[in-house]
């Protein structure tokens, strides 16, 4: 399912018919909702064996190809075609979505997503492509049977739509033309064409459901500099998958995805540690900077002088007292370091006087 505008997080009214009618969905716990709404798969598959390293390799090296793994990473972004209830991100809804489900192919060169909140990564070995298009083709009701798509293509129509560029297609691409679709999508995304940047790939949702939980390579939330995405959505979906299929938490990758980053996917736990470390480092740096400011302010206020005595029988404290009070600090007795402006002026005046006095005794020197 895709529409021209970004959808809000609104429940689908008609999807409520999929729920038992004797109890409002809002009164059930998320876990109970998931168990009641998700049909038991006819075959229990093992969890996906895809690793974070594989995902990043597919993402970085992805290029137009008829093979999903060679093309990049296939993701389903949250779009309200999932079953109602917390944690159902990985569960297609009923109706037409029991036949097809919308996804997008992303890689380093084609990073655009339908929404930048949360989603799932599909394991390519369980993906059965139905059709695709280089932009959102509003597949909501008709799926791959949509026609007259050329009119939707930005820049493809001229003279009020009466003339259409010859490269624009009127129908979705069949699976054997997946590479052709990706070439067009790559071109459009490089042009950064308004809201039509992401591609839409319909997969067989029956094959996907029958392969759960193995068909889910991971659950992710999107992280950008100006938008933290929706970590809670991803964590709820991760917990639901673990509980429903009796898995260990590490069996399902919980990821943070940063489009066009390298690496683009990192484990949520690793991201949390990294953020905590960076926050601690920033806090320490701010503390050190504040201490330096306060130290300089204190020195300026008190005229602090630090001295080391050079002559036996005296103390450092004697030098501090002598050099703080007297303009003629005995340099052969005390070695001092200070930030006090008064003390520095005293030293400068002593040095200037001393230099002038010795130069006045130098043969051939005429003090003028």
Residues 153 and 136: their CA atoms lie apart, in Å, by 9
Q: How many residues are recorded in the chain?
A: 368
Residues 291 and 27: their CA atoms lie apart, in Å, by 54
CA atoms 131, 137, 143, 146: torsion sign:
negative
pTM: 0.65
What are the extents of the domains in the chain?
41-157+164-276, 298-368
Lowest mean pLDDT, pick from 105-119, 162-176, 178-192, 338-352: 338-352
Is the separation of the CB atoms in 78 and 108 below 8 Å? no
% of the chain residues with pLDDT over 90: 48
3-class DSSP state of 124: helix
Tens-digit pLDDT profile for residues 220-271: 999 988 888 899 999 999 999 999 999 999 999 999 999 999 999 999 998 6
What's the whole-number average pLDDT of the chain? 77
Please list the alpha-helical segments (H only) found in 137-252. Answer: 178-190, 205-210, 231-244
Can you tell me the mean pLDDT for 202-221?
Answer: 96
3-class DSSP state of 51: coil
């Amino acid at each position: 399912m895709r529409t021209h505008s970004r959808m809000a997080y609104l429940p689908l009214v008609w999807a409520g018919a999929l729920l038992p009618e004797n109890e409002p969905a809002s009164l059930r716990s998320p876990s109970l909702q998931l168990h009641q709404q998700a049909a038991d798969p006819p075959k229990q598959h093992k969890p996906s064996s895809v690793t974070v390293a594989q995902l990043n390799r597919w993402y970085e090296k992805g290029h137009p190809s008829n093979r999903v793994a060679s093309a990049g990473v296939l993701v389903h972004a949250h779009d309200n075609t999932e079953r109602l209830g917390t944690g159902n991100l990985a569960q297609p809804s009923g109706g037409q979505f029991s036949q097809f489900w919308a996804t997008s192919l992303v890689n380093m060169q084609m990073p655009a997503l339908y929404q930048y909140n949360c989603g799932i990564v599909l394991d390519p070995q369980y993906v059965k492509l139905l059709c695709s298009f280089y932009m959102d083709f509003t597949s909501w009701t008709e799926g791959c049977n949509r026609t007259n798509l050329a009119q939707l293509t930005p820049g493809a129509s001229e003279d009020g739509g009466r003339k259409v560029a010859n490269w624009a297609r009127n129908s979705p691409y069949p699976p054997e033309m997946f590479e052709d679709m990706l070439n067009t999508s790559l071109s459009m995304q490089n042009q950064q064409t308004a809201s039509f940047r992401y591609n839409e790939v319909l997969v067989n949702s029956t094959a996907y459901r029958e392969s759960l939980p193995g068909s889910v390579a991971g659950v992710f939330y999107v992280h950008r500099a100006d938008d933290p995405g929706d970590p809670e959505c991803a964590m709820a979906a991760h917990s639901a998958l673990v509980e429903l299929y009796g898995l260990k938490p590490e069996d399902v990758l919980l990821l943070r995805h940063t489009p066009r980053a390298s690496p683009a996917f990192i484990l949520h736990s690793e991201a949390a540690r990294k953020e905590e470390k960076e926050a601690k480092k920033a806090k320490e740096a701010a503390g050190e900077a504040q201490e330096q400011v306060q130290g300089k302010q204190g020195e300026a206020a008190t005229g602090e002088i630090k001295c080391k005595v050079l002559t036996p029988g005296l103390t450092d404290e004697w030098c501090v007292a002598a050099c703080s009070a007297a303009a003629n600090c005995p340099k052969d007795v005390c070695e001092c370091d200070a930030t006090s402006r008064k003390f520095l002026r005293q030293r400068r005046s002593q040095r200037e006087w001393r230099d002038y006095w010795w130069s006045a005794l130098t043969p051939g020197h005429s003090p003028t």
